[in-house]
Amino acid sequence: MGVALHELGHSLGLDHSEDSSAVMWPWFNKAKTALRQDGISGIQSLYGVGSAPWKPMTSYAIKIAGSGGQLFQLQADGCVYRKVDTAPFWELTKEDSRTKNILSFAGNLFTLRTNGDIMRWSGVPLHMVLIDSNPTNVGITGADTDLCLRHTTGAIWRHRWTPGDWEQIDTRTNSVQIAAGGEHLYQLLSNSDILEYTKPGWKKIDFDDSSQGTAEIVAPDNQLYKRRHMGDIWVWVNKPNDWECIESNQDIMSIVAGGEKYLFQVRNNGAILRWLSATGRFWRKLETAPNCMQVVIMEDGTLYYLGRGGYIFRMAKKVM
List strand residue ranges (DSSP E) for 224-289, in order: 225-228, 232-239, 242-248, 252-258, 262-267, 271-276, 282-288
* Cβ 272 vs Cβ 289: under 8 Å: yes
Catalytic residue among 7, 91, 216, 299: 7
* Cβ 129 vs Cβ 143: under 8 Å: no
159 is in an annotated binding site: no
Which residues make Cβ contacts (< 8 Å) with residue 110, sequence separation at least 6?
Answer: 102, 103, 104, 118, 119, 120, 121, 131, 140, 147
User: What are the backbone angles phi and psi of residue 94, rounded to the nearest 5°?
Assistant: -155, 140
10 is in an annotated binding site: yes
Which residues make Cβ contacts (< 8 Å) with residue 70, sequence separation at least 6?
Answer: 82, 83, 104, 107, 109
Print burial letters for 164-188: b (CB count within 10 Å at least 16), e (below 16): eebeebbeeeebbbbbbbeebbbbb
24 is in an annotated binding site: yes
How far, in Å, CA of 233 to CA of 270, rounded? 17
151 is in an annotated binding site: no
10 Å CB burial of residue 10 (0-12, 13-18, 19+) is: middle
Closest CA to 219 of 252, 258, 193: 258
Q: Which amino acid is at 66?
A: G
Helix axes 2-11, 37-47, angle to 10 degrees: 20
Closest CA to 270 of 47, 38, 1: 47
Active site residue 196: no
Annotated binding site for Zn(2+): 6, 10, 16, 24
Q: Which residues are annotated as catalytic?
A: 7
Annotated binding residues, written as ranges, equal 6, 10, 16, 24
